[in-house]
Structure 1
Amino acid sequence: MEAVIFSLSFAAIAFLIFLSFKYFDKRLTFAFGLLFAAYLGLDDLVTGLPSASSAFSFAGGEWNWSGKVYSLLLSIAVVLGLGIKPEAIGLTLSQRNLTASLIALFLFILWGVSLGLLFKPSAPSVETLAFQALMPGLAEELVYRGIAPALLLGLIRGKEPLQGIPWTVVFITALAFGIWHGLSYSDAKFSFDPMSALFPFIGSIAGGWLRFSSGSLLFPILAHSFANVAFHLTALLGA
């Protein structure tokens, strides 16, 4: 029940974020704002299923492999069910502004190292490095930099992607992503860790720019994954 309460609450927060910034972009409509919020709430719910009940966990280990797979499956279902074109969510290898994307990738790695030096994670296991390299970047970028922006912009039923960087959409999705990382619910109480929200929010602004600047999810996924791995590898610097 706690998982359901959190997911519904997060969906409501995502919709409030949308309402707060809707008027900065006339392309945003209430209907697609509701769809955006419902999708993020549902993604949170399926991602958290293994934590809510071991019956939903099909993979062992210390990380939530099962939940990320459920998130990917939901994303596939949403894309197919709503007729979203691959290009509308950045599923293309065609790249724009390649030099800027490569520079951004390098800066994301430095960002991960800097956060690692600041927060000093414990020495990573092989599983930790494998999970960070493969799952969060892929699943979370597909949701927050791919499908969620497409829903906000109404890019369903085969509509073509738009040119330019929709900064309002980038900010809405980044704020939702940050809150998702900082908010928690346990024992009938909500809590919020500002630091856990701040850094994902900042990274999401950069990731949103990278997504629309490059026209693809490739570099946002790589940047997210490399930054996560770099963060954990900093634990080995003093070993």
Structure 2
Amino acid sequence: MGEQLTENLGNIALWNGAFALACVPAAAMAGRQFRWQWLVAAFLLFNLNIALVLDFFGLNERIYALAGSPETTFNWAGKITALSASVLILCTPFINLRAAGVTFRQDQKSFIGWIVFAALCALGVYIGLQIENDTHSAETIAYQLTMPSLEEEIFYRGIFLFCLVKAFGDGPRILWSNFGSAALISTLVFTIIHCLFWGASGIQFSTEAFLFAGVFGLVLTWMRTNTGSILLPILMHSAINTIWRLF
């Protein structure tokens, strides 16, 4: 078994373990509202998404070959295959597009989310002007502007959150958004995949990544539940990844 495959399997085990542990109290709190079929669907779709991003099926090499074997720094192929799978899943009758946030329509009070978006963008510009920043390549800007935001928001704040809401319910209305167990679990899983890894020396945990991904994961999930759409989270995610790199 190759070292990379071992690390990937370790990562999947860690992430699924954290996911499962978070679901135990959530299921207990949901009581009779809990629907295990949708939780199983969430687990299966989560693992499919991760397997595609990590290239478990060996599709990346074929995609790069079709594109003329370009020299790339980032995981374009993995993100593109995962994004394509999410789009296909959205085309099935099992996913209600409106309920999954795949709509331009905005809920009442969504203007609050847009105000927060404008404020955070302004803060990002200010921070970018204050720090010494290396010059970033065109590929870096193009990738960070598109792939993480499109692939991760459509899946984690769209499909994944939809399945979790079906499993556990919406939760209470807090700060102009429904923020219950489903929202918290989707945020936790999103955070864990950015900060908890299996490496050659065993489990590796980044406190910095945990705080950064956790805070912005909460903000992105709140924006999704406030507006009822993944549009604002996609824009916010793109802004988070790129604004500070432009100065």
TM over 0.5: yes
1:228 CA displacement: 1.0
Q: Is the 8 A contact 2:191 2:214 kept in 1?
A: yes
1:183 CA displacement: 1.4
2:185 matched to 1:172?
Answer: yes
State, as a whole percentage, how many aligned pairs show the same letter: 24
Q: 5+ residue gaps in structure 1?
A: 156-162
1:49 to 52, 55, 59: 55
1:26-75 C-alpha deviation (Å, 9 max, x unpaired) = 4443333333233223212211118x886255264211111111111221
Q: Following the alignment from structure 1 to structure 2, what is the Cα–Cα distance between the partners of residues 111 and 25?
A: 38
**Matching residue of 1:84:** 95
2:157 matched to 1:152?
Answer: no
1:152-187 C-alpha deviation (Å, 9 max, x unpaired) = 1228xxxxxxx9514221111111111110012222
What TM-score results when the alignment is normalised by the length of structure 1?
A: 0.82
2:200 matched to 1:200?
Answer: no
1:137 to 142, 149, 165: 149
Q: Report the structure number with the largest CA radius of gyration.
A: 2
**Matching residue of 1:159:** none
Letter in 2 for 1:230: I
1:113 CA displacement: 4.9
Q: Would you say how many aligned residue pairs link Structure 1 and Structure 2? A: 227
**Alignment map for 1:111-126 (pairs within 5 Å):** 112-113=124-125, 122-126=134-138
1:123-143 C-alpha deviation (Å, 9 max, x unpaired) = 211111111111111111111
Alignment CA distance shift 1:133-1:8 (3 Å): same
1:86-118 C-alpha deviation (Å, 9 max, x unpaired) = 112111111123421221212332454577689
Q: Following the alignment from structure 2 to structure 1, what is the Cα–Cα distance between the partners of residues 121 and 221?
A: 16
Q: Equivalent residue of 1:190, what SS?
A: strand
Q: Which moved more, 1:184-193 or 1:28-37?
A: 28-37
**Alignment map for 1:157-236 (pairs within 5 Å):** 165-187=178-200, 189-233=202-246, 236=247
Q: 5+ residue gaps in structure 2?
A: 65-69, 168-172
**Alignment map for 1:72-111 (pairs within 5 Å):** 72-81=83-92, 83-96=94-107, 97-110=109-122
What TM-score results when the alignment is normalised by the length of structure 2?
A: 0.79
Aligned CA-pair RMSD:
2.9
**Matching residue of 1:16:** 21
Q: Is the 8 A contact 1:56 1:66 kept in 2?
A: no
1:80 CA displacement: 3.5
Alignment CA distance shift 1:18-1:114 (3 Å): farther
2:77 matched to 1:66?
Answer: yes
Q: Equivalent residue of 1:89, what SS?
A: coil
**Matching residue of 1:160:** none
Letter in 1 for 2:140: T
**Matching residue of 1:39:** 45
Alignment CA distance shift 1:201-1:120 (3 Å): farther
